[in-house]
Structure 1
Amino acid sequence: MTLPSFLRLICLAAIWGGSFLFMRIAAPTFGPAYLIEFRVSFAALALLVTALYLKRSLHFRAHARHYLILGLLNTALPFVLFAYAAQTLTVSTLAILNATAAIWGALIAFFWHRTPLSVKSLIGMVLGICGVIILVGWDQTLVSEALIWPVLAGVLAAVSYGVASNYAKNAPQIAAFDNAHGSMWAAVVWLVPLLPFIPMRAVPDSTEISAVIALGVICTGIAYLLYFRLISDVGAASALSVTFLIPLFGIVWGYQVLDEQVGINTLGGMILVLAGTMLVTGFSPATWQTKRAARAR
């Protein structure tokens, strides 16, 4: 991996870790439906501008069914669930729950595609589940009936990402940029019916409005472009390593900006979740270094 690619990886992890910070700031006022409708709308517009610049046609109608499925499973549903959870949970907790997506993806692949589970994968799943339990079970502020639903929403959001990744295995072969662009517009459509039933809670201030704009343009639109560039430069396997950096930035942003306390349960839960994710995905620093050296030759 070249220095520019490495810097893009760090930048992407910082941006995606920051997405949970921006949701935490804006969700209590905007509510989950309006927050995510604004997020995907800004992202869709940013990707539209990019598509016009690159002279790329989306052909939405030709692949409408695919974009609608992907927009629901990979964008609208998990985004809304995380936004609901962000009204209560800390930035670090949200980021760590997000990292379990690969674990759920492997479990779903076992039932959906009959993909065998290795011993390492099974151990990884157990570690990941234990990590989530430690993350929320040792913190007395989380052990309450009122906060069970936000935690469950965060887990279900990660499950939705796992379902989306399995759907993509048999989905139409469409360019990654077009998938992102089309799924954002599909998410805009999916979220419209929710708006009358989940209204905004108050009039947002300038900080909350800025957070929503950053969430859509930077954390979604620009982040997708960075991610696709990474896949093009270093391959999907190396780009996956961003998954292990996002919780670190989530913890840093929550501590620095919102003064969220980082307890032993947060660090312990994060270590177990990331270790479990590495085992499930087969990713390891040694393997990554070997592939990197081979690519350099």
Structure 2
Amino acid sequence: MTLSSFLRLICLAAIWGGSFLFMRIAAPTFGPAYLIEFRVSFAALALLVTALYLKRSLHFRAHARHYFILGLLNTALPFVLFAYAAQTLTVSVLAILNATAAIWGALIAFFWHRTPLSVKSLIGMVLGICGVIILVGWDQTLVSEALIWPVLAGVLAAVSYGVASNYAKNAPQIAAFDNAHGSMWAAVVWLVPLLPFIPMRAVPDSTEISAVIALGVICTGIAYLLYFRLISDVGAASALSVTFLIPLFGIVWGYLVLDEQVGINTLGGMILVLGGTMLVTGFSPATWQTKRAARAR
């Protein structure tokens, strides 16, 4: 991995970790439906401008069914669930729950595609579940039973990502950029029916409006472009390492910007979740280093 690719990886992790910060800032005022509708709309427009610049045609009609499935499972549903959870949960908890997506993806693959689960994968799943229990069960901010629903929403959002990743295995072979572009427009459509039923809570101030714009343009549109560039430069396996950096940045942003406290349970839960994710995905620093050296030859 070159220095430029490494810097892109760090920037991407910082941006995606920041997405939970921006949701935490804007969700209480915008509500989950309007927040995510604005987010995917700004992202779709950013990708449209990029597509026009690159002279890429989307051909939405030809793959409409695929885009709508992907837009629901990989964007609209998990984004709304995380936005709902962001009204209550801290940035660090949101980021760590997001990291369990790979664990759920492996479990879903076992039932859906009959993909065998190795002993390492099973141990990883147990570690991940224990990490979530420690993260939530020992957090003094989550003692109210009413907060079980936000935690469940965060878990279900990660499960939705797991379903989307398994759907993608048998989905039409479409360029990654087109998948992102088409699924964003599909997500815009999916969210429209929710708007009358989940209204905005108040008139947003300039900080909240800026957070929503940053969510759409930077954390979704630009982040996707960085991610695709990473896959192109270093491969999907190395690009996956961003998963393990996002919770760290989520904790840092929450502490620096919102003064969220970082307890021993947060750190312990993060270590177990990320350790479990590494076992499930087969990722390890040693393996990553070997692949990086092989590409350098």
- TM-score between the two structures when normalised by the length of structure 1: 1.00
| 1:144-169 per-position Cα deviation (integer Å, ceiling 9, x unaligned) | 21100000000000000000000000
Divergent runs of 4+, >6 A: none
- The CA deviation at 1:64 is 0.2
Deviates most, 135-144 or 66-75 = 135-144
Take 1:144 and 1:257, find their aligned partners in 2: how far apart are those partners? 25
Take 2:235 and 2:41, find their aligned partners in 1: how far apart are those partners? 29
Show the 5 A alignment for 1:6-45.
6-45=6-45
Take 1:67 and 1:2, find their aligned partners in 2: how far apart are those partners? 33
Is the partner of 1:212 in helix, strand or coil? Answer: helix
- The CA deviation at 1:95 is 0.1
1:86 aligns with 2:86: yes
Take 1:144 and 1:115, find their aligned partners in 2: how far apart are those partners? 38
Take 2:190 and 2:92, find their aligned partners in 1: how far apart are those partners? 28
Is the partner of 1:123 in helix, strand or coil? Answer: helix
Take 2:141 and 2:261, find their aligned partners in 1: how far apart are those partners? 12
Q: Which residue of 1 aligns with 2:197?
A: 197
Task: List alignment gaps of at least 5 residues for structure 1.
Answer: none
* Overall identity of the aligned pairs, in %: 98
Task: List alignment gaps of at least 5 residues for structure 2.
Answer: none
Take 2:211 and 2:286, find their aligned partners in 1: how far apart are those partners? 38
1:239 aligns with 2:239: yes
| 1:184-219 per-position Cα deviation (integer Å, ceiling 9, x unaligned) | 000000000000000000000000000000000000
- The CA deviation at 1:140 is 2.5
Take 2:147 and 2:93, find their aligned partners in 1: how far apart are those partners? 12
Take 2:290 and 2:161, find their aligned partners in 1: how far apart are those partners? 28
- The CA deviation at 1:141 is 2.1
Show the 5 A alignment for 1:59-74.
59-74=59-74
- The CA deviation at 1:143 is 2.3
| 1:8-37 per-position Cα deviation (integer Å, ceiling 9, x unaligned) | 000000000000000000000000000000
| 1:194-247 per-position Cα deviation (integer Å, ceiling 9, x unaligned) | 000000000000000000000000000000000000000000000000000000
| 1:39-73 per-position Cα deviation (integer Å, ceiling 9, x unaligned) | 00000000000000000000000000000000000
Deviates most, 139-148 or 206-215 = 139-148
| 1:103-146 per-position Cα deviation (integer Å, ceiling 9, x unaligned) | 00000000000000000000000000000000000012202211
Counting matched residue pairs gives 297
Take 2:3 and 2:193, find their aligned partners in 1: how far apart are those partners? 45
1:186 aligns with 2:157: no
Take 2:138 and 2:227, find their aligned partners in 1: how far apart are those partners? 34
Take 2:116 and 2:138, find their aligned partners in 1: how far apart are those partners? 33
Take 2:141 and 2:5, find their aligned partners in 1: how far apart are those partners? 40
| 1:270-296 per-position Cα deviation (integer Å, ceiling 9, x unaligned) | 000000000000000000000111111
Take 1:294 and 1:37, find their aligned partners in 2: how far apart are those partners? 43
Is the partner of 2:141 in helix, strand or coil? Answer: coil
- TM-score between the two structures when normalised by the length of structure 2: 1.00
Q: Which residue of 1 aligns with 2:293?
A: 293
Take 2:87 and 2:229, find their aligned partners in 1: how far apart are those partners? 32
